[in-house]
Structure 1
Amino acid sequence: MIGEVIVIGDLQLRDGASVDEHDRLGARMYDIVSRLPGFVSVKSFKADDGEELTVFRFASEEALEAWRTHPEHVETMKRGHAEFYASGFLQICKVIREVGPFEHA
């Protein structure tokens, strides 16, 4: 969808980080974001070399901003930087052209 915003992320856990707590917080964040107006989807993909990317889709910049500034998400991001992640990146992209979907009979 033209105007849609895509966030691509690759966050690497620290050695010794609590995977259980990370997963619990991740489930909580998904519970929140999935109910926000304008949230479209989130999916993760793992490459053969082990790199894992997560792709979030939002209907608009306003929808992404609502998520980015959600109070519980802000606090969880702070915890992520302090406790869980050794490195990573986020790329925020705006869809400028879309081809498809199409089907072949």
Structure 2
Amino acid sequence: MMADFFADTPTPPYYAVVFTSLRTSDDDGYDDMARRMAALAAEIPGYLGMESARDSLGRGITVSYWFDLAAIQRWKADVEHLLAQRLGREKWYAAYRTRICRVERAYGFER
């Protein structure tokens, strides 16, 4: 269970893209696109993993992890991802924020 939830990230430094969103009620095609974007991101050189959660009110946070800023830029510029971004603004998101962070330190606990 834990291995499926946490991204397998290396020793820092690396980068995190934090995507916080509020969904609309329009679900038409969203789940398929979300699965496609997760699979496509995993193909980008420098992709390290992803963690995501959404509540019943449509508030969500997805954190994707990347080796460097160049990998994030490749993801941002991907043609299919650009289409998903456009559809997100037009249909699926009432609002969102994207934040790019450098991870300097990471630690955790598992029982």
TM-score strictly above 0.5: yes
Report the TM-score, using the length of structure 1 for normalisation. Answer: 0.79
Identical counterparts, % of pairs: 22
Size of the aligned set, in residue pairs, is 99
Q: Structure 1 residue 4: deviation in Å?
A: 1.2
Aligned partner letter, 2:90 = A
1:53 equivalenced with 2:57 (yes/no) = no
Q: The residue matched to 1:98 in structure 2 has which SS?
A: coil
- Show the counterpart of 1:92: 100
Q: Map 1:1-105 to 2 at 5 A.
A: 1-15=11-25, 17=26, 19=27, 21-45=29-53, 51-95=59-103, 97-99=104-106
Cα gap change, 1:51 to 1:85, in 2 (>3 Å):
closer
Q: Structure 1 residue 50: deviation in Å?
A: 8.0
Contact 2:46 2:71 survives alignment (8 Å): yes
Aligned partner letter, 1:23 = D
Q: Structure 2 unaligned runs (5+)?
A: 1-10
Structure having the higher Rg: 1
Aligned partner letter, 2:71 = A
Report the TM-score, using the length of structure 2 for normalisation. Answer: 0.76
The Cα RMSD (Å) is 2.3
Runs of 4+ with deviation above 6 angstroms:
none
